[in-house]
């Protein structure tokens, strides 16, 4: 059994082993601490001089990494909390993502920013957000999101490893609650059909079940919650759903979604970021523009509020399995 954390750590180790141009930068990422969420644990010991503890200086480290990328290295930056991406936003949007195209393709920027996102740990309004929606649609920036998908079929380590080998900047979103989860394996997928749907998406539905009446689109940790939800919906309510999981959020390829919704004619998007003008809005717009005869479409997301620290309030703000089930029930 492999956890998401082990998968990511293994990918970083493999990338460092394979390519001397790979460097890691971030706050508190060296041993013995090994990073706030331990994703880099052991790596500074195994690769001396290539895992660089930075000052608390997000814009600086992002710019330094981009400069290194411009001059032949392949840096992987860890931002301690995804919330701090705001401090890097100028470097990401006005520099790293732009230079390749702006300089007429004469430079490449192989660079990954790993961002632990999300709430449900009571960290409060500035350490619990899912800010990726603000980086979707930035030309030149690829946004990927880890999910606990099976080894060889979208697993977080392979996704990260491919991102490090890519020649353009990648924002790599890791929901904090994913780290201890086991990757989906035979046990977890026992009653489910899991298949790739294009290059960056996957389809999950109940095996030998009636045709699904609803497509649920999700990414990241919400894919884990949606997996639980579709099983319960089937067994408890006899509502059969197809889950489409995206590992690449931007640029957004809607084909896997359209293929599914064409059959189900109902679409529910679920995300942990705030609801207004977010990922789900883009997903529903793609379905609407796809000319499909939609019977129902809904977005499930966080309430448009900061993420509260109080467990009772946080639970009310962020969507959970029950919320997915309730939303699905209203649509079928």
Partner 1 sequence: MNESLYRTMYLIRRFEETVLAEFARGAFSGTTHTYLGQEADAAGVLAHLSPDDLVVSNHRCHGHFLAYGGDPRSLFAELMGKASGVCGGRGGSQHLHWRNFYSNGILGGTLPLAVGMALAEKRKGSGAVTFAFLGDGALGEGAVYEALNFASLWSAPILFVLEHNHWAQTTPTHLALAGTMTGRFAAFGITARELNTSDVLVIHAAAAELISQVRVEGAPRALIIETERFGPHSKGDDPRPSEELERLRRERDPLAIHAPRLPAEARKAIEGEVDAVIHAAFQQALADPSPDAAALTPAIMP
Instruction: Determine, following the binding rule CB under 8 A, whether residue 91 of this chain makes contact with partner 1.
Output: yes
Least separation in angstroms between CB 81 and partner 1 = 18
Q: How far apart are CA 89 and CA 96, in angstroms?
A: 10
Burial class of residue 32 (count of CB atoms within 10 Å of its CB; 0-12, 13-18, 19+): exposed
Closest CA to 40 of 54, 30, 53, 50: 30
Give the count of beta carbons closer than 10 Å to the beta carbon of residue 191: 12
- In the list 17, 45, 46, 57, the residue contacting partner 1 (rule: CB under 8 A) is 57
Instruction: Determine, following the binding rule CB under 8 A, whether residue 167 of this chain makes contact with partner 1.
Output: no
Instruction: Determine, following the binding rule CB under 8 A, whether residue 208 of this chain makes contact with partner 1.
Output: no
Q: How far apart are CA 321 and CA 227, in angstroms?
A: 9
The binding track of 8-37 with respect to partner 1, each residue x by CB under 8 A or -, is: ------------------------------
* The pair of three-digit structure tokens given for residue 194, joined into one six-digit string: 């899991």
Residue among 84 and 184 whose Cβ is closer to partner 1 = 84
Give the count of beta carbons closer than 10 Å to the beta carbon of residue 189: 15
Instruction: Determine, following the binding rule CB under 8 A, whether residue 63 of this chain makes contact with partner 1.
Output: yes
Instruction: Determine, following the binding rule CB under 8 A, whether residue 144 of this chain makes contact with partner 1.
Output: no
Least separation in angstroms between CB 323 and partner 1 = 30
Q: How far apart are CA 24 and CA 215, in angstroms?
A: 38
SS3 (DSSP) at 47: coil
Residue among 33 and 73 whose Cβ is closer to partner 1 = 73
- In the list 55, 152, 186, 291, the residue contacting partner 1 (rule: CB under 8 A) is 55
Least separation in angstroms between CB 252 and partner 1 = 7
Which residues are CB-neighbours of 31 under 8 A, at least 6 positions away? 41, 42, 43, 44, 45
Instruction: Determine, following the binding rule CB under 8 A, whether residue 147 of this chain makes contact with partner 1.
Output: no
Least separation in angstroms between CB 20 and partner 1 = 10
* The pair of three-digit structure tokens given for residue 67, joined into one six-digit string: 């400069």
Asked whether the beta carbons of 74 and 21 are under 8 A apart, the reply is yes
Instruction: Determine, following the binding rule CB under 8 A, whether residue 71 of this chain makes contact with partner 1.
Output: yes
| Residues at the contact surface with partner 1, assessed by CB under 8 A | 54-55, 57, 59-73, 90-91, 94-95, 99, 101-104, 106-107, 139, 251-253
């Amino acid at each position: 059994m492999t956890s998401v954390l082990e998968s990511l750590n293994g990918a970083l180790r493999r990338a460092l082993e394979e390519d001397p141009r790979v460097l890691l930068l971030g706050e508190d990422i060296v041993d013995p601490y090994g990073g706030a969420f331990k994703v880099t644990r052991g790596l500074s010991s195994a690769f001396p001089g290539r895992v660089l503890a930075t000052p608390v200086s997000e814009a600086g480290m992002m710019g330094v990494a981009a400069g290194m990328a411009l001059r032949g290295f392949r840096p992987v930056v860890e931002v301690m909390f995804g919330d701090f991406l705001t401090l890097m936003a100028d470097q990401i949007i006005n520099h790293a993502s732009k230079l390749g195209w702006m300089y007429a393709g004469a430079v490449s920027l192989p660079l990954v920013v790993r961002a632990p996102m999300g709430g449900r740990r009571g960290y409060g309004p500035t350490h619990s957000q899912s800010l990726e929606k603000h980086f979707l649609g930035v030309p030149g920036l690829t946004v990927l999101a880890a999910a606990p998908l099976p080894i060889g079929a979208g697993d977080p380590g392979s996704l990260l490893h491919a991102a490090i080998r890519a020649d353009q900047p990648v924002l790599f979103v890791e929901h904090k609650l994913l780290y201890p989860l086991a990757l989906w394996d035979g046990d977890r997928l026992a009653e489910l059909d899991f298949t790739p749907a294009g290059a960056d998406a996957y389809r999950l539905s109940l095996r030998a079940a009636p045709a699904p009446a609803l497509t649920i689109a999700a990414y990241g940790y919400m894919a884990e919650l949606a997996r639980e939800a579709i099983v319960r919906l089937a067994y408890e309510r006899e509502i059969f759903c197809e889950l489409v999981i995206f590992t690449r959020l931007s640029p957004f390829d809607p084909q896997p979604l359209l293929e599914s919704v064409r059959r189900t004619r109902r679409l529910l998007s679920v995300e942990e970021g705030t609801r207004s003008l977010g990922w789900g809005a883009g997903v529903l717009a793609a379905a609407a523009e796809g000319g499909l005869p939609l019977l129902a479409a809904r977005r499930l997301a966080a309430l448009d509020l900061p993420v509260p620290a109080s467990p009772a309030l946080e639970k009310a703000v962020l969507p959970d399995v029950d919320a997915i089930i309730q939303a699905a029930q209203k649509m079928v």
